[in-house]
Amino acid sequence: MTSAPLSASDERVEQLIILTERLTDLIARQATAFEARRPHEAARHVEETAKLANVYRHESARVRGNVALVQAAQPDRRRRLVRATEAFDAVLARQSRAIAAAKTVTEGLVRAVANEIAAQRPQAAGYGPSAHGAGYANNATAITLNRKA
């Protein structure tokens, strides 16, 4: 027994489901890597995630601009798309929390290193030509920071 061919709307919704589920899986892997404090593992999927996210953005905009593209799809297929989109939104929120936590930890480490370097630098003893700033002449340590680091 063969199944009937899918309508254009059903086909589009099915493709959106596949795209959304794949993107959800990749972002979940990245979130897991960040949560495990292994950002280098998250980097493995950056290229594919970026490509799929771009396709997702493009297709989402197309559907928002013309709902008729998916409106005629079977109700159960549209419900699957809604569930896939809800799962995608949840994993995006999880990834956002994981990245924010990793950023906070990284910034704290950078700040701690900068403070330690600053504490170990020699202090200048005054201003002007007779000031004792020779400690700086022999110190080859350089660091540039801004408030965001």
Provide the whole-model pTM. 0.70
What are the φ and ψ backbone dihedral angles of 147, each rounded to 5 degrees? -65, -25
Any domain includes 32: yes
Average model confidence (pLDDT) for the chain? 83
Torsion of CA 98, 101, 102, 108, to 10 degrees: 180
Interval 37-60: pLDDT, tens: 888 888 888 999 999 999 999 999
Query: Is 138 a member of any domain?
Result: no
Q: With contact defined as beta carbons under 8 Å apart, do 5 and 14 qualify? A: no
The domain containing residue 16 runs over which residues?
A: 8-120
Q: Which CATH number do you get for residue 18?
A: 1.20.58
